Amino acid sequence: CEIDFSDQDDLLHFRLLICPDEGFYKGGKFVFSFKVGQGYPHDPPKVKCETMVYHPNIDLEGNVCLNILREDWKPVLTINSIIYGLQYLFLVTTAGAPGAGGTPVVALGHILGALGDLGLH
């Protein structure tokens, strides 16, 4: 992982690059934006995936379905906890995860459509 603080005067907004070295997403490069609000650590940071990816826990707008970013957030959790959670998403996917917005079906449709366009169905 790499963290990029583009604006050195604003450390509450940064980007994270995840490059899985195993699993289905091995070799991919996925960028996430973090926005840490004034309510932190009582409220979780806002995290979005900036990379277009077909993943059951990331919808087409980049919203991430990770329980610790929502209902399971606790003030004792840290940015590192979120980073570990995001890395884990690329190792073990949870099809039909709550909040995923039907992404597995949408992703499958896009993949099958792309294969059909290439004559590979």
As annotated, the active-site residues are 65
Of the candidates 15, 31, 27, 86, the residue with the CA atom closest to the CA atom of residue 6: 15
Residue 105 has which token pair?
Answer: 């079906």
Residue 14 has which token pair?
Answer: 């940064």
DSSP annotation of 112: H
Give the total residue count for the chain.
121
CA distance 84 to 100: 19
| Side-chain-side CA neighbours of residue 38 (13 Å) | 0
Q: Which residues contact 23 (CB under 8 A, 6 or more apart)?
A: 90, 91
